[in-house]
Structures are given as C-alpha cells and as structure tokens.
Amino acid sequence: MKARPPLISRYNPASMQILRGLYSPDTRPVALTIGNFDGVHRGHQALLNQLKAAAAARGLPTAVVIFEPHPREFFTPDTAPARLSSLREKLALFEQFGIDRVQVCRFDARLAQMSAADFIRALHQKLNAKFVLIGDDFRFGSGRIGDFALMEKIGEQQGFEVQAVQSVTHDGVRISSTAVRAALAAGQMRRCHDYLGRTYSISGRVVHGDGVGRKLGYPTANIQIKHNRPPLSGIFVVEAHAEGLGILQGVASLGVRPTLKHQARPILEVHLFEFKQDIYGKRLRVEFLQKRRDEQKFPDVGALTRQIALDVENAKKWFEQHD
C-alpha cells in the first residue's frame, strides 16, 4: 500500500507551516521541542519562549512536535483527562508565539510501539533537529522509558544539542495541564487565568440547536463540544469574540441540560445580550470570566426559565461592577 504523503498546509501563509508526521520536505536544520501542549499554559509558554531564544541565537527556525490524539486518549480513552484545547486552538496559540513549523504526529499503535531511541533518531534524521528543548519531566517512547538523560546521550552521539527547561510555579504550585483542569473543575477562573496567562476560552462553530432557548425568551448561540468531557461545566459570565462582531457580553451554559435532556452530549449555549444577528456557521471564541453556579435539574420549564432570568440579571450586574 502506497504511503500517504504528508499534509503540508499553512495556518497563516505568512508564518506557520503545519506538517503531518515525523517528516518534512524542508531540509533546513531546526530547533525543536516536543509535547502535548494541552492548554498551552504558562509552563508551555516558557518553553516556547526559550525555544525561540535558542533558535535565534543559532540561526535556526523553530519547530514543535505534538501528538494527536493525546496519548492517554489512545491508551485509556474512557479515563483520559478532559482536553483543555482542541488541535485548532493549539495551532492558533503556536502561531501567536511565532513558531515556524508544527509537526502533528498521529498517535497510533505504530507510534506507541516506537522505542525511545528510534524516536530520538527520527527527530534528528527526519526532521533535522540540531537543537532539542524538552521539559524536565518529559517522558517518551514505548513504555515511556525515554527521558532527558537518554535524549542528551543520543544527542551527543548524533551531533545535536539537548537542553531541559525547568517547571514554572505559581504560589508554590507547579503549573501543568493537570493543575489547569483542577482549577476549571473547581470553577476557580482567576486561578486558571494565573496558570494560563489568559482567560480560558473554548472556540467552535455556531450550529443549529433545538430552539428551546428562543422559545423561553433567551435565544442562544450553540457550540457543539468536540470532545465528550469538557474540563468545566456550569453557568458562566462570558465574553464572546467573532470576526467582524467585536466583543459580545453574555451568559453561557456548558453541560448536558438535565432539565431538558437525558444522557445528552455536552453543549455550550451562549445567550448574548442585546444581540439579534444570524451567526450560524460563524466561529465563536467564548471566554469564561466567572462561574455563577453549577448546572442543575429543575422541576419544570417554568422554574428553569425563572433561573435563566436571574442568571442574565446577575451576569449583567457583574459586567457593571467590572466595567
């Protein structure tokens, strides 16, 4: 069977190249880093900034190697952690950091069985890595036996440089994707902001819903969640961003709508204040500013409608207080 050629595309024609797999038609040597980068939090950002500095000092372009899906989604899909960011969101953040190239490696049985030594050699021989920067706790290869010491040893043998970046902490807590998930699950949006260096957001295309919100007097922009387990749930004060529309204030529900549905998939519903435009098909980025309450099941639709009215009133008051 003929091998499928690598995907070569441009997220932005002026900046970042996206390639699939451990292959590049560009033979220039690169400075690269590797990881899952879920959430692209401040620890990841420190690594990316150090990579850019090292690359500039050596006259090399930058490359980031990521895995899709997350390895834990491959090995234990039922218990894998909730995703903080989609692939598209990660790519957008890499572009903002000025990364030159991203290698999106499909994590499958073949990659899972690759030895740590073979993975390192692929970085050098197929991607022409001349400088590799990894987190101090990064593990890789079959059985996760690869670590910084092995990368450094093979780097010396193959002729490329390896450095490790230390963890970033905030208030004594190591910033990690796990820490961000814990903050989101607890509704601690300020702490999450501290870990991410930005307000947490979810992006997606506005799709047609069942029209219940409109019937209740509170029409919503519905964004289908791509993964079944979002890292947060409840009712939130939000700001929504869409091209050509500026910043829109609103209140959002993220969850399974227990009053209206049974065993439904999570959906993000955003009620935008004083907004009546048709935005079906547009991409919306929703920033979660404050959690108001948990999702709950009401005895009837009337009780739900009264609570929505209260949520809208409280969200508007929040914006008045934080203007």
As beta bridge partners, residue 202 has 286
Strand boundaries in 181-220, DSSP class E: 201-207
Task: Tell me, yes or no, whether 208 and 157 share the same domain.
Answer: no
The domain that holds 103 is classified in CATH as 3.40.50.620
Task: Tell me, yes or no, whether 289 and 209 share the same domain.
Answer: yes
Torsion sign (Cα): 179, 180, 186, 191 = positive
**Count of the separate structural domains present in the chain:** 2
Whether 13 is in a domain gets the answer: yes
**Interatomic CA distance for residues 251 and 185, integer angstroms:** 18
pLDDT (tens digit per residue) in 152-196 = 999 999 999 999 999 999 999 999 999 999 999 999 999 999 999
pLDDT of 8 reads 36
Task: Tell me, yes or no, whether 74 and 140 share the same domain.
Answer: yes
How much is the average pLDDT of 309-322?
A: 96
Flag whether the pTM goes above 0.85: yes
Beta pairing class for 129-135 and 161-165: parallel
Whether 188 is in a domain gets the answer: no
The domain that holds 242 is classified in CATH as 2.40.30.30
Task: Tell me, yes or no, whether 155 and 228 share the same domain.
Answer: no
Whether 96 is in a domain gets the answer: yes
CA-based max dimension of the chain: 71
Nearest to 94, CA basis, from 49, 136, 128: 49
Residue 244's domain comprises 199-321
User: Treating both helix axes as pointing N-terminal to C-terminal, what angle do 116-125 and 148-158 enclose, rounded to 10 degrees?
Assistant: 40
Look up residue 78 and give its DSSP letter: T
Task: Tell me, yes or no, whether 116 and 60 share the same domain.
Answer: yes
Task: Tell me, yes or no, whether 143 and 210 share the same domain.
Answer: no
Q: How far is CA 321 from the centre of its chain?
A: 30
Task: Tell me, yes or no, whether 156 and 219 share the same domain.
Answer: no
Task: Tell me, yes or no, whether 206 and 292 share the same domain.
Answer: yes
What are the structure tokens assigned to 73, written together?
């989604």
Task: Tell me, yes or no, whether 156 and 230 share the same domain.
Answer: no
pLDDT of 14 reads 52
pLDDT (tens digit per residue) in 142-152 = 999 999 999 99
Task: Tell me, yes or no, whether 208 and 136 share the same domain.
Answer: no
Task: Tell me, yes or no, whether 29 and 145 share the same domain.
Answer: yes
**Interatomic CA distance for residues 76 and 115, integer angstroms:** 20
pLDDT (tens digit per residue) in 23-41 = 899 899 999 999 999 999 9
pLDDT of 263 reads 60
**What's the start-to-end Cα distance of the chain, in Å?**
61
pLDDT (tens digit per residue) in 90-104 = 999 999 999 999 999
As a whole number, the mean pLDDT across the chain is 90
Question: By mean pLDDT, which of 119-123, 202-206, 255-259, 286-290 is the weakest?
Answer: 255-259
